[in-house]
């Protein structure tokens, strides 16, 4: 109920729940007092429903065993609502909450695994990346917290970087990766259509950007786009090689976060891009982030791990 800004909703849900329970009890009582109606010849009347020309539905009361079972469920529901949360913001007599249970599980896990993570935290990340036990734990952390965006194989997807290559927006050394995980990143590419001046200029710049990486591009349009690219050079550099301090991508390689076609690049120039990498410092803590950063660094440095460099 903490998501609601008014106490009205807590009262509303509590009243609605209580009325629902009372309504079920009343419905059961009304059916319990029902007696079968007999016809003049002493037979139980039917409801008027007939199937297969001879199968009739008799107008009998519900079985007693079923009704008593329903009474038991109502009593159980009332006891449950008294002991556990269910009536708006009322916490229940036992004071149980899913958040509290989660925190207790965290305490147990920290007591059991805390010393291990503390040992890993004092170890150099490059050494951790080569440690089989640390690598296995790092992989589990990655699959739990990172795979949703970067994929279970860490090769990324449209808008989400591939972590297995050597192309990094902010830098691929262990400490930078650790900083990214701890503090997160917010990459913004502003809309540049106004700075280009016209749709034709946007298209020309897109061709020029493609030409920087040696990709197929119209040379005439690229020549016209070079002058307009000056508006982009503040972030990407005059040669389009990017700026890790800003997270501005290198445009001179053939690695694209959203795609390297003319249409996609024009879309980026027109509307910009806004990417967020969430911070994990408060959620995972420094020890786990240290281990996770070592695992991520190892994904793109298999050769260094195999040679022990």
Q: What is the pLDDT of residues 50-89, one digit of tens each?
A: 777 778 777 777 788 888 999 999 999 999 999 999 888 8
Sequence-ordered list of residues with C-beta below 8 angstroms from that of 223, at least 6 positions apart, any chain: 208
Q: What is the CATH class of 188-277?
A: mainly alpha
Nearest to 206, CA basis, from 188, 238, 232: 232
- Please list the residues that pair with 248 across neighbouring strands: 243
pLDDT at 143: 96
Q: Determine contact, residues 248/257, Cβ cutoff 8 Å.
A: no
What's the mean pLDDT in 155-178? 94
- The alpha helices in the chain, defined as continuous H runs, are 7-32, 64-83, 98-121, 125-130, 132-145, 147-150, 174-183, 193-196, 199-212, 219-228, 233-236, 262-271, 281-284, 286-299, 302-307
pLDDT at 41: 67
Nearest to 252, CA basis, from 276, 272, 282, 232: 232
Q: How far apart are CA 171 and CA 163, in angstroms?
A: 11
pLDDT at 307: 52
Q: How far apart are CA 278 and CA 289, in angstroms?
A: 13
pTM of the predicted structure, to 2 decimals: 0.70
User: 104-184+278-307 and 188-277 share one CATH topology?
Assistant: yes
With 0-12 CB in 10 A as exposed, 13-18 as middle and 19+ as buried, what is 246? middle
Q: What is the pLDDT of residues 95-134, one digit of tens each?
A: 898 888 988 998 998 888 889 989 999 999 999 999 999 9
- 306, pLDDT greater than 60: no
Eight-state DSSP code of residue 249 = P
pLDDT at 142: 97
Per-residue DSSP letters for 13-82? HHHHHHHHHHHHHHHHHHHHT----B-TTSPBPEEEEEETTTEEEE-PPPPHHHHHHHHHHHHHHHHHHH
H or E segment and range at residue 274: strand 273-277
Q: What is the pLDDT of residues 207-224, one digit of tens each?
A: 999 999 999 999 999 999
Q: How far apart are CA 150 and CA 143, in angstroms?
A: 9
The domain locations on the chain are 7-83, 104-184+278-307, 188-277
**Cα Dmax for the chain:** 103
Q: Which CATH architecture has domain 104-184+278-307?
A: Orthogonal Bundle (1.10)
Residues constituting the chain:
309
pLDDT at 60: 74
């Amino acid at each position: 109920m903490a998501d609601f800004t008014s106490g009205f909703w807590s009262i509303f849900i509590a009243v609605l729940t209580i009325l629902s329970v009372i309504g079920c009890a009343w419905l059961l009582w009304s059916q319990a007092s029902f007696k079968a109606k007999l016809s003049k010849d002493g037979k139980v009347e039917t409801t008027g429903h007939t199937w297969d020309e001879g199968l009739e539905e008799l107008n009998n009361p519900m079985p007693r065993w079923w009704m008593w079972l329903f009474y038991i469920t109502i009593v159980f529901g009332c006891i449950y609502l008294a002991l556990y949360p269910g009536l708006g913001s009322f916490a229940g007599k036992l004071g149980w909450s899913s958040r509290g249970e989660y925190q207790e599980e965290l305490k147990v896990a920290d007591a059991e695994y805390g010393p291990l993570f503390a040992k890993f935290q004092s170890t150099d990340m490059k050494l951790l990346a080569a440690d089989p036990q640390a690598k296995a734990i790092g992989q589990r952390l990655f699959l739990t917290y990172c795979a949703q965006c970067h994929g279970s194989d860490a090769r990324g997807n449209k808008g989400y970087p591939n972590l297995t290559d050597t192309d990094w927006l902010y830098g691929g050394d262990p400490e930078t990766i650790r900083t990214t995980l701890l503090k997160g990143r917010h990459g913004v590419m502003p809309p540049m259509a106004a700075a280009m001046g016209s749709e034709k200029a946007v298209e020309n710049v897109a061709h020029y950007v493609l030409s920087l990486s040696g990709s197929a591009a119209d040379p005439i349009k690229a020549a016209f786009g070079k002058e307009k690219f000056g508006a982009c050079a503040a972030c990407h550099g005059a040669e389009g090689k990017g700026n890790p301090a800003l997270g501005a991508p290198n445009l001179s390689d053939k690695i694209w976060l959203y795609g390297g076609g003319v249409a996609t690049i024009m879309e980026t120039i027109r509307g910009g891009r806004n990417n967020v990498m969430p911070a994990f410092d408060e959620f995972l803590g420094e020890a786990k982030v240290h281990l996770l950063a070592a695992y991520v660094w190892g994904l793109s440095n298999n050769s260094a791990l195999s040679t022990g460099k």
